[in-house]
Amino acid sequence: MENHFRIRPAETADAAAIWAVECRAFSDPWSLSGIGEMIRAASTRTLVAEAGGTVAGFLVARAIRDEGEILNLAVLPEHRRRGLGRELLTAGLNWLREGGAREVYLEVRHSNEAALAMYRARGFRPVGVRTDYYRHPREDALVLRCLLAERE
């Protein structure tokens, strides 16, 4: 199957489209204003994946000194299992590495097996648990870490 998508930095005008993906992907979505703030924040990078001219997925990453964090990653259900999430993650990790990050953290639902498999394939390993981190439904989050020096 060919992938027909492109990844680019998000613009403020993308906030509503990103929010629409967020609302379809998560049971406890970020607010539209929160997404706008992330796009504008100097310490974050928001990337969108376009398919057929529409936003099909996005990633938000943050860098602080030598540490990075994947704050959010979502792909519309009809575009999953086509490599979109993997490509967004790779682009985000590259941005963090270029900015000097040596390690990257993220939280993921304990039950999200597809995301866990993708993250493990990219070198992320569990380092902790946040009890009752997610609200709808209530569930623990696994804290994962990737050492970027190991990925070079």
pTM for the structure as a whole: 0.90
- Total tally of structural domains belonging to the chain: 1
| The two structure tokens encoding residue 70 | 């994947």
Mean pLDDT score of the chain, rounded to an integer?
90
Give the domain CATH number at 30. Answer: 3.40.630.30
Q: Which residues are catalytic?
A: 107, 119
Nearest 5°: CA angle at 64, between 136 and 102? 100
- Find the range with the poorest average confidence among 63-77, 95-109, 128-142: 128-142
Q: Which helix (H) or strand (E) holds 5?
A: strand 5-9
Which pLDDT score, from 0 to 100, does residue 5 have? 87
Print the domain residue range for 130.
Answer: 5-151
Q: Which helix (H) or strand (E) holds 67?
A: strand 67-75
pLDDT for 136 beyond 50? yes
pLDDT tens string 109-120: 989 999 999 999
Listed in sequence order, the residues at least 6 apart from 150 whose beta carbon sits closer than 8 Å to its beta carbon are: 123
pLDDT tens string 17-75: 999 999 998 888 889 999 999 999 988 999 999 988 899 999 999 999 899 999 999 99
- From the CB of residue 66, how many other CB atoms can be counted at a distance below 10 Å? 12
- The position carrying tokens 């299992």 is 81
Q: In this prediction, what percent of the chain has a pLDDT beyond 70?
A: 96
Which residues on adjacent β-strands are paired with residue 107? 143
